[in-house]
Amino acid sequence: MNAIVCVDKNWGIGKNGELLFNIPEDMQNFVLNTINKPVIMGLNTLHSLPGGKSLKNRLNIVIAPKEEKLPDDVIHVTNIKELSDYLAENNLTDKAMVIGGGMVYNALLPFCDYVFVTKVDADGYADTFIQDLDDPNEGFELLYKTPLKNADITISAEKKCPISMQYIIYKNMRY
């Protein structure tokens, strides 16, 4: 199992139930890394997707309380044990990609082999964070990083704003 996440310089990932940044280039990167794979997300992240609908061309696995009514096309699991049983029974553990949000990353990153991070060199004033993967206590090592590059954040249909970002791959040292 691997994970993909976009963080700001403080390891913030979201605010008010939404992403911090709308970066079209990073969205393309997200699609390339998740297409045709099983994706694992929490209920709040499902709600944050356009129309609260699942992602196309991916098997959507959602961790949510039992009483929640989820779209028919998602696999509903209620805890990590159910998730890991489902992945193992269907031979999906290696292919699965954890896509958020905060609660799910915090629970599952320790079980991920690789974490694909887009790091934005800005403060998104987040209310949701993941663990600092540069902290040696978290058990990851930086395997690869691109230089900082310029990209655009879409603010509105007419307005864009330049930022710097880089792609980083962390490897879990536990495995």
Ligand X SMILES: NC(=O)c1ccc[n+]([C@@H]2O[C@H](COP(=O)([O-])OP(=O)(O)OC[C@H]3O[C@@H](n4cnc5c(N)ncnc54)[C@H](OP(=O)(O)O)[C@@H]3O)[C@@H](O)[C@H]2O)c1
| Residues binding ligand X (CB under 6 A) | 5-6, 13-14, 17-19, 41-45, 48, 63-65, 79-80, 99-104, 107, 128
**Minimum distance from residue 68 beta carbon to ligand X (Å):** 7
Distance CA 28, CA 83 (A): 27
Q: By C-beta, is 69 or 158 nearer to ligand X?
A: 69
Contacts of residue 78, Cβ cutoff 8 Å, sequence gap at least 6: 63, 64, 65, 66
Q: By C-beta, is 5 or 153 nearer to ligand X?
A: 5
Contacts of residue 76, Cβ cutoff 8 Å, sequence gap at least 6: 62, 64, 68, 70
Positive or negative, the CA dihedral 93, 36, 59, 151 is positive
Q: By C-beta, is 27 or 92 nearer to ligand X?
A: 27
Chain mean position to CA 25: 15
**Minimum distance from residue 139 beta carbon to ligand X (Å):** 18
Q: By C-beta, is 104 or 109 nearer to ligand X?
A: 104
**Minimum distance from residue 124 beta carbon to ligand X (Å):** 9
